Amino acid sequence: MGKKYVASPPRAVLTLNVGVTGHRFLERADSDLLSQRIREIAEEIGSILLEIHKNPETCFAENTKPCLRVISPLAEGADRIVAREILGVPIPDLRTELQCPLPFSREEYEKDFSSAASKSEYRELLERAGAVFELDGSRQRQDYAYREAGLMVLGHSDLLIGIWDGRPPRYRGGTGDILEEATRMGIPVLWVHSESPHYIYSGIQRKETDWKRALRGYLENLLLPPCSKASGESGHEPRYPHSYFAEKQKKWNTAWVYSFLVNGIGKSRFVLPRLRVGDFEASASAEWDACKEKLPGLGKAFANRLEPVKNSYCRHYAWADGLAVHYAGLYRSSYVLRYIFGALSVIAVALGFYATGWLNWFGFSVQGVLLISIILLSKFGNARCWQQRFIDYRLLAEMIRQTELLSLVGRVMPSVRVPAYNKHADTSWINWHYRAIIREAGLIQAKMDSDYLRDFKRFLGEYEIGGQIAFYSEKALLFERIATRLERIGMSFFYMGLAAILLRIIPYALKYFYSTTHGSVFPYTAQLATGITVMNMLSLLIPGFAPTFFGIRSQGEFFRISRRYEAMKARLEEIRHTLEDGNSLTYDRLSAAVLESAESMVNEVSDWRILLKAKALSFT
């Protein structure tokens, strides 16, 4: 029996991450009433999540419970009140979870709490947490450490609950500062006033008191999938993201025509392309496992974090990458075939003109078949949106791939931004699915001590950035070689065509000189007519092949992509050089470097996506 493949791309579990910030000391609070307000918010969020999960338009994983997750640093006061109330939401079909980014190691952070009861509560909540992420904060920069933990809360939050007295920020990292930062980042805030009677506002301006209406509108807009359409040329455009989740595992390599071109022209050694495609998930899993073998000697603490990251992201990446490769093969092979069919149609029409008997009608018939094939190939490719699927899935795969690395240091990459000059490019479904994936994954269990950071620095420099530098260097050279050779082959056909045109002069020159010198008719008239016919055919056929190679070169954008890869290689070498600095072994420097690297590579793919979108299978 053949291997049974997973049927379709995995869907994320419906998850909402609620962050918390607030005052530690709530002297003017009515503790029971404040807890009641938070419980009211949690129950409202839970009921909305259940409604969204039951919506027939939803694209989340079926047969799973929605997850309401609280992101809390577990400081005394507000952090713990919100954590307790969300964990205790009495909704049977809702799963609740706690994740804790801490400004210091858990032992050091515990020193902030003086009473035995407070320390006991802190430890009890840590035991209930699904993940604890311990930053490398320093007591010498205490305010900075608290702010970093607050910013990590914001980075992983879809919604922020702030228990605040409404006064301006008094120091960096405090409640007011984090709330203002959330507003700048566009994160919705539910402000619960820290003083009795604890009114609830939507936002921090005291303007919106109907917080339930605002909350419902925000959550529906965030969690319900966008029904966008690809900008193809036909009316049979896929309805994203539903069409993505309807994709199936592919079994056959669709890029064999394009692979023949690349292997035959770009590489020094020709390799036959494989016709069968392996299981997407199994292939990606094997590749992920191989990365640990390439870097022996990684510390146990760091190596153990790779498996949870793989479990969270690998399946999603496998499908986006595998489908991108599939549709890239269809799109690229189709435009190569179109130009080849165009060249063959020239041969067919020449055969129809100059041949006699059955070859005459055979030539014209073949020409008709080839022209119809070009039209059908273009129409079918556009109707099935091969190009659109290819570039969309490639962008999604790259975003997920970079997030795998970012998650090791608790970082989250912003959604892809569309350049101003291409404001109509639709990335909404990509961002929607991407955010759903990272929302479900959340934080990993990790401690940012010197050993962990040292291993991460090596992993980032040698495996990720080093591997990408090698990739871009190899591809830049390959595409430059292809572009150069396609141009040379095209020019060669032009020159040979010119030579064939000039050779047509020879039969006429022979006839003229013979009649001039001998005063009689040239005796080999039949042979002369045959030679003229051959020269006519060659002068027609040979130049007709040149546009085929120039067209493939232009459609494939080989030279321009080569230059882009060279630029990306140089940019990554700069980042690696920064990493090699002896002072880079800090969380701040390493996380900034990996974020810069990730955004550079995703932005490169996003910009390339815009370039490629102009290269549809059109007839112009």
Question: Per-residue pLDDT tens for 359-417?
Answer: 788 888 988 999 999 999 989 988 888 998 999 999 999 999 999 999 999 998 875 54
Q: Are residues 470 and 606 in the same domain?
A: yes
Burial 11-24, CB ≥16 within 10 A → b, else e: bbbbbbbbbbbbbe
Decide which of 188, 223, 258 is a domain's last residue.
223
502 and 448: one domain?
yes
pLDDT at residue 546 above 80?
yes
Residues 35 and 141 in one domain: yes
Q: Is the same domain home to 448 and 566? A: yes
Q: How confident is the model at residue 418 (pLDDT cuts 50, 70, 90)?
A: very low
CB 472 within 8 A of CB 435: no
Handedness of CA 385, 404, 74, 592 (dihedral sign): negative
Region 192-209 average pLDDT: 85
Looking at the domain assignment, is residue 229 inside a domain? no
What token pair was written down for 18?
Answer: 């609620």
pTM for the full model?
0.89
Cα dihedral sign for 372, 374, 375, 378? Answer: positive
Highest mean pLDDT, choosing among 77-86, 288-297, 511-520, 588-597: 77-86
- pLDDT at res. 617: 77
In a domain, 546, yes or no: yes
- pLDDT-derived band of residue 2, with 50, 70 and 90 as boundaries? very low
Residue 328's region, left for phi above 0, alpha for psi from -120 to 50, else beta, is alpha
How far, in Å, CA of 614 to CA of 27, rounded? 62
Residue 329 has pLDDT above 70, yes or no: yes
Predicted pLDDT of residue 583? 66
Closest CA to 475 of 591, 563, 545, 416: 563
Rounded distance between C-alpha atoms, residue 81 and residue 118, angstroms:
12
CB-based contacts of 593, cutoff 8 Å, min separation 6: 460, 575, 578, 579, 584
Please give the Cα distance from 70 to 158 (Å, whole number). 10
Task: Note the pLDDT tens digit of each residue in 125-153.
Answer: 999 999 999 999 999 988 899 999 999 99
**Domain span at 551:** 248-413+443-613
Whether 141 and 20 map to the same domain: the answer is yes
- The count of residues in the chain is 620
Q: Does the pLDDT value for residue 553 go beyond 50?
A: yes
Q: What percentage of the chain has pLDDT greater than the value 70?
A: 93
- The CB density around residue 529, as the number of other CB atoms within 10 Å, is 11
Asked if residue 165 is part of any domain, the answer here is: yes
DSSP state, residue 140: G
Mean pLDDT over 543-551 rounds to 87
| Stretch among 88-102, 478-492, 511-525, 536-550 having the lowest mean pLDDT | 511-525
In a domain, 433, yes or no: no
Give the pLDDT confidence score for residue 427 in this predicted structure: 61
* CA-based nearest residue to 256, from 325, 361, 320, 329: 329
Pair 263, 121 in one domain: no
- The closest of 619, 615, 620, 59 to 386, measured between CA atoms, is 615
Same domain, 195 and 333: no
Q: Same domain, yes or no, for 258 and 126?
A: no
Distances in whole angstroms, Cα of residue 542 to Cα of each of 128, 289, 374, 495? 76, 51, 21, 9
Which stretch of 49-53, 90-94, 612-616 has the lowest confidence by average pLDDT? 612-616
How far is the C-alpha of 440 from the C-alpha of 68, rounded, in Å? 10
Q: Would you say 545 and 343 are in contact if contact means Cβ atoms under 8 Å apart?
A: yes
CA–CA gap between residue 490 and residue 469 (Å, rounded)? 31
Q: What percent of the chain has pLDDT over 90?
A: 51
pLDDT tens profile 470-525? 999 999 999 999 999 999 999 998 898 888 888 777 777 777 777 777 767 767 67
50 or 57, which is more confident: 50
Give the pLDDT mean for 601-608.
Answer: 87
Answer with the residue of higher pLDDT: 38 or 3.
38
- Given a cut of 80, whether residue 120 has pLDDT beyond it is yes
**CA distances to 16, 110, 339, 347, 496 from 503, in Å:** 76, 92, 27, 20, 10
Q: Are 173 and 306 members of one domain?
A: no
pLDDT at residue 272, as a whole number: 76
Confidence bin at 232 (pLDDT 50/70/90):
very low
- Non-local CB neighbours of 403 within 8 Å, separated by 6+ positions: 313, 412, 413, 434, 437, 438, 441, 598
The type of residue at 574 is E
pLDDT at 426: 53
Does 126 map to a domain? yes
* Total domains, the chain: 2
Q: 176 and 30: one domain?
A: yes
* Residues 6+ positions from 329 with CB-CB distance below 8 Å: 253, 254, 255, 256, 258, 259
| pLDDT bucket at 231, cuts 50 / 70 / 90 | very low
Q: What is the pLDDT of residue 497?
A: 84
CATH number at residue 38: 3.40.50.450
What average pLDDT does the structure give for the chain?
A: 87
| Same domain flag for 303 and 347 | yes
Position 424 confidence tier, pLDDT thresholds 50, 70, 90: very low
Q: Identify the band that residue 239 occupies on the pLDDT scale cut at 50, 70 and 90.
A: low
Q: Please give the Cα distance from 18 to 86 (Å, whole number).
A: 9
Whole-number pLDDT of residue 564: 92
Higher pLDDT, 242 or 232: 242
* 122-136, 335-349, 568-582 — most confident range: 122-136
How many CA atoms lie within 13 Å of 199's alpha carbon, on the beta-carbon side?
12
Residue 347, domain member (yes or no): yes
Question: Is the model more confident about 439 or about 209?
Answer: 439
| Bridging pattern class, strands 131-134 and 159-164 | unpaired
Residue 52 lies in a domain: yes
Please report the pLDDT score of residue 163 as a whole number.
Answer: 95
Instruction: State whether residue 69 is helix, strand or coil.
Output: strand
Per-residue model confidence (pLDDT) at position 1: 36
The yes-or-no verdict on residue 278 having pLDDT over 60 is yes
| Helical ranges in 21-68 per DSSP H | 31-54
H or E stretch at 259: helix 256-261
- Confidence grade of residue 212 (pLDDT, cut at 50, 70, 90): very high
Q: What is the structure's pLDDT at 414? A: 72
Please, what is the Cα angle at 91 between 90 and 97, to 5 degrees? Answer: 85
Q: CA 470, CA 467: separation in Å to the nearest integer?
A: 5
C-alpha torsion angle, residues 102, 107, 109, 113 (rounded to 10): 130
Statement to judge: residues 192 and 334 lie in one domain:
no
Q: So what's the pLDDT on residue 419?
A: 43
Q: In what order do the strands lie in the sheet with 189-193?
A: 200-202, 189-193, 159-164, 15-22, 67-71, 95-102, 131-134, 446-447
Residue 425 lies in a domain: no
* Residue 615 scores a pLDDT above 70: yes
Position 270 pLDDT exceeds 60: yes
Instruction: Report, as an integer, the average pLDDT of 87-113.
Output: 95
